[in-house]
Amino acid sequence: MIPYGRQEISQADIDAVTEVLQSDFLTQGPKTPLFEQLIAHKVSAKHALAVNSATSALHIACLVLGVGKGDWLWTTPITFVASANCGLYCGAKVDFVDIDPRTYNLSPTALEQKLITAERDGKLPKVLVAVHLCGQPCDMEAIHKLSQRYGFKIIEDASHAIGGQYKGQYIGSGHYSDITVFSFHPVKIITTAEGGMAVTNNDQLAEKMNLYRSHGITREPHLMTHEPDGPWYYQQIELGYNYRMTELQSALGISQMERLDQYVARRHELANRYDQLLQNLPLTLPWQHPDSYSGRHLYVIRLTLDRLKKTHREIFEALRAEGIGVNLHYIPVHTQPHYQQMGFKRGDYPEAERYYQEAMSLPVFSAMTEQQQDKVVHVLKGILQV
């Protein structure tokens, strides 16, 4: 099976992890701060905090932005459930904004409409999670403008987008948001097995996220309620979690970071090659906004079903049967049973639901060969019968 995504592990990665195994620190050593510095420097952010997943990063980002009971968190329905669940973890309520039919990202037009109604009803969101689907950044300038007018905070869920750029700046530079989150799950652009990072330019948010990722415990005298009792002393000043990244993971991340630009460039090569090879088929190929340099995490095609004799599901199953590991990103979150219980219905977000009926992610990953890609194209063309 040619998977839709897969990690690439080099000998240098293996050596880096092995070295940590033989060192003094398996966790809370020197590698994690180094990995954080590398990421912060790469994306031009002031602070970077490594955690054990992007989901944890989303959770602590919501906490430090003050999301709590009675608040609303808004996001797109076309995302992984974690982008919405982080609001529920904090006791907030979640609502969704329909997608743009061209980029499949949250639509700023739909957002503005929803904000007008929410203002009238006194239900404005506290936080918006802007998800850069497939690695293509959202229209952050428009979203940021609306945040100024309606007073909400912005988290960028850049789980797909490390190494990508928006208006010439690396995603994570924080010009249009409060906090940006990256994922290092093995299917993502670089990996630490499990792992995530939250980046911000705000000193207070960084300090608080640092507390929340490690039990709410501090050893900084300036944060304590009184002078330390002695050199052993720490204080728990918040209810935090154990969301720390291990030294093994950080060492792998540091090693992978050396190949980040190369990986994104390779993903662009493969995507451009798909664009060429899949022309003039009953498909919609991924449209790229001229303001963006995507991370190219996913290559999503949409089937033009009224020009095809097979159904979406038949085409999907036929591809899988021939060893092509297609996938679907994503099932609209509001149609998940857990969200249906909250009153969301089919039909609530028509663009998202139409996308779900037509979309398919073709394999794309840095180690993919042109022969593998040719096989995907050949099998797909055969199944589409064109």
Among 7, 103, 147, 159, binds ligand PLP (CB under 6 A): 159
Say which residue the tokens 């021939």 belong to.
322
* CA-atom Rg of the chain in angstroms: 22
Residue 253 in the binding site for ligand PLP (CB under 6 A) = no
Rounded Cα gap, residues 207 and 202, in angstroms:
9
Which amino acid is located at 384 in the chain?
L
Q: Which is nearer to ligand PLP, 176 or 218 (CB)?
A: 176
Residue 361 touching ligand PLP (CB under 6 A) = no
- Of 280, 219, 229, the residue nearest 28 (C-alpha): 219
Name the amino acid, one letter, at 79.
T
Span from 35-43, 65-73, 157-165, 373-381 in contact with ligand PLP (CB under 6 A): 157-165
Write down the least CB distance from residue 309 to ligand PLP, Å.
33
Q: Is residue 54 a contact point for ligand PLP (CB under 6 A)?
A: yes
Gap between the Cα atoms of 30 and 23, Å rounded: 11
Distances (CA, A) of 296 to 5, 141, 174, 263, 319: 11, 21, 20, 10, 21
> Smallest distance, Å, CB 83 to ligand PLP?
5
Between the two ends of the chain, the Cα-to-Cα distance in Å is 23
CB of 181 to ligand PLP, least distance (A): 7
Sign of the Cα torsion 118, 123, 128, 130 reads negative
Q: For ligand PLP, which residue of 108, 125, 196, 363 counts as binding (CB under 6 A)?
A: 196
Helices and strands, number each (H, E), in the chain: 13, 15
Whichever of 80 and 166 has its CB closer to ligand PLP, that residue is 80
76 lies in the binding site for ligand PLP (CB under 6 A): no
Pick from 315, 196, 177: nearest CA to 246: 196
Neighbouring C-beta atoms of residue 278, cutoff 10 Å: 18
CB of 75 to ligand PLP, least distance (A): 9
For residue 328, the tally of other CB atoms under 10 A from its CB is 15
Q: For 359, phi and psi rounded to 5 degrees?
A: -85, 155
Q: Does 267 bind ligand PLP (CB under 6 A)?
A: no
Nearer to ligand PLP, 218 or 327 (CB): 327
Nearest to 349 by CA among 177, 180, 99: 99
Binding ligand PLP (rule: CB under 6 A), the pick from 32, 75, 76, 79 is: 79
**The token pair that represents 85 in the structure block:** 């669940």
Q: Which of 157, 178, 247, 353 binds ligand PLP (CB under 6 A)?
A: 157
Residue 59 sits in the site that holds ligand PLP (CB under 6 A): no
Lay out the site mask for ligand PLP across 82-121 (x = CB under 6 A, - = otherwise).
xx--------------------------------------
**Which 125-144 residues touch ligand PLP, going by CB under 6 A?**
131
Q: Is 210 in the site for ligand PLP (CB under 6 A)?
A: no
CB of residue 120 vs ligand PLP: minimum separation in angstroms?
A: 31
| Stretch of 47-55, 62-70, 288-296, 348-356 lying at the interface with ligand PLP (CB under 6 A) | 47-55
Q: Which is nearer to ligand PLP, 194 or 353 (CB)?
A: 194
Between the alpha carbon of residue 178 and those of residues 32, 172, 187, 267, 316, the distances in Å are 22, 10, 26, 28, 39
The site for ligand PLP (CB under 6 A) is made up of: 53-55, 79-80, 82-83, 131, 157, 159-160, 183, 185, 196
